[in-house]
Amino acid sequence: MDEKLRPILEPIFAEIADGRTGELGSPYGALAYAYIRVSTSGQAEEGRTGLPRQLSNIHELACNLNLRIPFRLLYGDDHTGFEFKDRPDLQRLMADISDEEHRESDHLLMEYLDRLSRNAKWHQGYLLELFEQQGIAVRFWKEFHSEIERAVMGAISEQGMRHEIERMTEGMRLKAKSGRITARTPSYGFLFVDSKGRPATDVTSNYRQDSHYALDPDQAPIMKEIYYRIVGGESLFDVCDDLERRGVPTPKASKHWSSGNVSKMLKNTVYKGEYAANRYYFQNEWSERSQKMVNRQRQRPKEEWIIVPVPAIVSPEVWEEAQKALKRNIKKSTRNAKKACLLQGFMYCACCGHLYNAGGSSGPIVDGKRTRRFYICGSYNGTRTVREIYYCKSPVVYSDEIDHHVWDSICELITDPEILISCLEEEYDNFKKGELNHQLKYLDKQLNKCHKEEAQWDRAYGEGIFSLEEYREKKEAVRGRILALQVEWEKIVENIELVETFERKREIVYEHLKKLKQAGYAPDIPFKDKRTILAMFIDRVVIDSKEKWYRLEGLIEGVYQYEEKSLPQRGQETGSAAKFTSTSAP
């Protein structure tokens, strides 16, 4: 279960559960799985009634069926109901029930069908069919007594949610066009008031519907100070360190003052008196880095923004000067990496868990530049005051040493590319492409049913059973279902094409692996290709720079010692030489 959702669910579960067993349902019943879902993390974090209601209804259902649900068999997501592929706990549930050897129950309880999916076109039927094939009996607190009732209620739920999203989006636009603020929380330096100037602390204020900005008397001077100090030539790092040392309260979403967050704040046009509504939207996109669909924030064209005038903290001239100062600081900063490092984004600290960053350069100066790049633990980031508390004191790791060592370890393990190819095909193709083909077959089956139904209406009308008006009504209904299924069918085909595109790209990597085997060691492989190979075979490189060892995690696993100030020689690793099994760290 998601670590953010677990602490919210645990006290609610404990309150509803039977006091004798600490479980939902009958104390002496058989085990059962349960699945719950809220649409957003905000709904979960704000403690709304959705989670307690779902758990209470599932508890009632489990009691009636003489079943019991311990917390470990409860699965929950905070995710939209229109997609099921990217819901981590639903995927984990499907994986657990498909493991017949370790499966703990043949029962799955839910409140409503729309908790499983709001997509009535095919997702609901597809998921129910998957559970049925696994021998899982799915029961709902609100049961459906026929396939028609399930389809009708599912369609109502789906259409209702879509209309609700469209209504909320259009409502936000209209709200912004009327000169009101659409933000859920005020930007740093501002507070919410209504059109009469009454703040949120006033019980008579209507600030939620009639939302406007006013300057926060405590935060606005701080924000103004930051602008003038940046324009005056100070660095973001020094400004943040000073604010941290003085104990100045941070924005709500931040624990400490950091240069990254302050840089984003300084670029916000709201501080020069222009609140930009309808600026961002979210969409699912294919990630080459993680090789899966991810939800990303995208910016709309500027002509679609809706500008709402608000009180300015600084003048437009000062705001523009601050943007110029930020650009100058980027050019002057010696902490910005100009050359990518091989393990950037892969290496994690074994002491504190932070990601290692490409920290800069050191060593002798050649042509005016220091020659040795290094990685530094992410706990070093932040102001000096924050660093004194959180820095784990792990020594820096030089790129020219660890990059070669890790790459050499991978080369040493790739003694037979065919083994890795086989593992990849089993791990990726059988799951991803096989699942998509399964979905495609299900849609084909549903389309065939619709076409047969359409042919039946044609024959019935031809025999005079229906009037022309009745025939048109039935014909339009089935044609609507066919068109909706065809749209979904095309989406699945596009996803299969994405998988095939990935496979073609992967063939390039296979060629490099074969070259590695033939050449024994191939230092001349392009940097981009090395990164691609790393991403396919390595999830993380956990390193202890104090004890001088690192652990490979992913398709290739193993623990290795490394020596500082000397490049590793092929075949001289002192750690495990196990091919795909991780050993304990030294």
Q: For the CA atoms of 168, 267, 272, 300, what is the dihedral angle to 10 degrees? A: -30
pLDDT for the residue numbered 198: 92
Q: Where are the beta strands (DSSP E) in 200-342?
A: 212-215, 274-277, 280-287, 292-299, 306-309
* Cα 206 from chain centroid (whole Å): 35
Bridge partners (DSSP) of residue 191 are 214
**Residue 183: C-alpha distances to residues 65, 186, 197, 313 (Å):** 45, 6, 17, 18
Please state the pTM of the whole predicted model.
0.46
- Considering the four listed CATH numbers 3.90.650.10, 3.40.640.10, 3.40.50.800, 3.40.50.1390, the one that applies to the domain covering 6-159 is 3.40.50.1390
Tell whether the model's pLDDT for residue 31 goes beyond 90.
yes
Helix (H, G, I), strand (E, B) or coil at 60: helix
Tell whether the model's pLDDT for residue 338 goes beyond 70.
no
**pLDDT tens by residue, 233-248:** 788 888 898 899 899 9
With residue 245 as reference, give the H or E element that holds it: helix 236-246
pLDDT for the residue numbered 312: 93
pLDDT for the residue numbered 413: 64
Pick the more confident residue, 437 or 117: 437
pLDDT for the residue numbered 518: 61
Instruction: Provide mean pLDDT across the span 255-278.
Output: 90
With residue 364 as reference, give the H or E element that holds it: strand 356-366
Instruction: Provide mean pLDDT across the span 292-304.
Output: 80
Instruction: Give the CA radius of gyration of the chain.
Output: 29
Tell whether the model's pLDDT for residue 436 goes beyond 80.
no
> Cα(first)–Cα(last) distance of the chain, in Å?
31
pLDDT for the residue numbered 252: 80
Q: Is the dihedral of CA 61, 64, 65, 69 positive or negative?
A: positive
The top-scoring range by mean pLDDT among 115-129, 277-291, 346-360, 519-533 is 346-360
User: Lowest-pLDDT range, 5-19, 77-91, 382-396, 476-490?
Assistant: 77-91
The CATH H-level superfamily of 190-332 is Putative Large Serine Recombinase; Chain B, Domain 2 (3.90.1750.20)
Instruction: Provide mean pLDDT across the span 157-178.
Output: 67
**HEC-encoded secondary structure of 120-178:** CCCHHHHHHHHHHHCCCEEEECCCCCCHHHHHHHHHHHHHHHHHHHHHHHHHHHHHHHC
pLDDT for the residue numbered 46: 41
Tell whether the model's pLDDT for residue 30 goes beyond 70.
yes
Bridge partners (DSSP) of residue 29 are none
User: Lowest-pLDDT range, 50-64, 391-405, 487-501, 545-559?
Assistant: 487-501
Per-residue pLDDT band for 519 (boundaries 50, 70, 90) equals low
Instruction: Provide mean pLDDT across the span 276-292.
Output: 73
**pLDDT tens by residue, 71-90:** 999 988 875 544 555 577 88
Tell whether the model's pLDDT for residue 291 goes beyond 60.
no
Instruction: Provide mean pLDDT across the span 433-454.
Output: 79
Q: For the CA atoms of 302, 304, 307, 308, what is the dihedral angle to 10 degrees? A: -150
**Residue 225: C-alpha distances to residues 232, 234, 239, 270, 316 (Å):** 10, 11, 10, 16, 15
Maximal C-alpha separation, the chain: 94
The top-scoring range by mean pLDDT among 98-107, 195-204, 356-365, 386-395 is 195-204
* Cα 454 from chain centroid (whole Å): 42
Per-residue pLDDT band for 18 (boundaries 50, 70, 90) equals confident
Per-residue pLDDT band for 530 (boundaries 50, 70, 90) equals confident
CA 544, CA 50: separation in Å to the nearest integer?
44
The top-scoring range by mean pLDDT among 49-58, 133-142, 314-323, 398-407 is 314-323
Pick the more confident residue, 447 or 163: 447
How does DSSP classify residue 570? T
Q: Which residue has the tokens 């003694």?
A: 415
Q: Where are the beta strands (DSSP E) in 188-310?
A: 190-193, 212-215, 274-277, 280-287, 292-299, 306-309
User: Lowest-pLDDT range, 46-50, 65-69, 106-110, 475-479?
Assistant: 46-50
pLDDT for the residue numbered 167: 63
Instruction: Provide mean pLDDT across the span 117-141.
Output: 72
- Residue 197 tokens, joined: 């100037």
Per cent of the chain over pLDDT 90 is 15
pLDDT for the residue numbered 532: 65
**pLDDT tens by residue, 379-423:** 887 777 878 888 898 988 888 888 888 887 777 666 555 555 555
Pick the more confident residue, 139 or 151: 139
pLDDT for the residue numbered 288: 62
pLDDT for the residue numbered 363: 57
| Short-list 278, 315, 303, CA closest to 180 | 278
Pick the more confident residue, 335 or 133: 133
Q: In what order do the strands lie in the sheet with 369-377?
A: 356-366, 369-377, 397-398
Mean per-residue pLDDT over the chain, rounded: 76
**pLDDT tens by residue, 180-232:** 998 888 999 999 999 999 998 888 888 888 899 999 999 999 999 999 888 88
| Short-list 306, 42, 311, CA closest to 175 | 306
Pick the more confident residue, 104 or 125: 104
| Short-list 220, 226, 231, CA closest to 318 | 231
pLDDT for the residue numbered 236: 87
pLDDT for the residue numbered 442: 80
User: Lowest-pLDDT range, 80-89, 266-275, 321-330?
Assistant: 80-89
| Short-list 402, 392, 223, CA closest to 310 | 223
Per-residue pLDDT band for 586 (boundaries 50, 70, 90) equals very low
- Residue 464 tokens, joined: 């005079």
* Cβ neighbourhood burial of 157 (10 Å; 0-12, 13-18, 19+): buried
Per cent of the chain over pLDDT 70 is 69
Domain ranges of the chain: 6-159, 190-332, 417-519
Helix (H, G, I), strand (E, B) or coil at 321: helix
Q: At what angle do helices 527-537 and 399-413 cross, to 10 degrees?
A: 60
Q: At what angle do helices 123-133 and 434-462 cross, to 10 degrees?
A: 120
